Amino acid sequence: MTFAIAIDGPAASGKGTLSRRLAAYYGFRHLDTGLTYRAVAKAMLDTGLPLDDEAAAMQAARTFDIANMHRDVLAAHEIGEAASKVAVMPGVRRILVDRQRDFAATGDGAVLDGRDIGTVVCPDAPVKLFVTASPEVRARRRYHEILGNGGQAQEDVILADIRKRDERDMNRADSPLKPAEDAHLLDTSEMTIEAAFRAARRFVDAALNENS
The answer to whether 33 contacts ligand C5P (rule: CB under 6 A) is yes
184 strand-pairing partners = 129
Q: Which of 169, 183, 186, 203 binds ligand C5P (CB under 6 A)?
A: 169
The answer to whether 87 contacts ligand C5P (rule: CB under 6 A) is yes
Q: Closest by alpha carbon to 136, among 122, 114, 156?
A: 156
Q: Which of 23, 57, 61, 83 binds ligand C5P (CB under 6 A)?
A: 83
The answer to whether 89 contacts ligand C5P (rule: CB under 6 A) is no
Task: State the distance between the two ends of the chain, measured CA to CA, in whole angstroms.
Answer: 12
| Smaller CB separation from ligand C5P, 80 or 207 | 80
Q: Closest by alpha carbon to 48, among 39, 56, 36?
A: 56
Q: The sheet that has 184-187: what strands, in order across it?
A: 29-32, 109-114, 3-8, 127-132, 184-187
| Smaller CB separation from ligand C5P, 116 or 200 | 116
Q: Which residues bind ligand C5P (CB under 6 A)?
A: 11, 33-34, 37-38, 80, 83-84, 87, 114-116, 165, 169
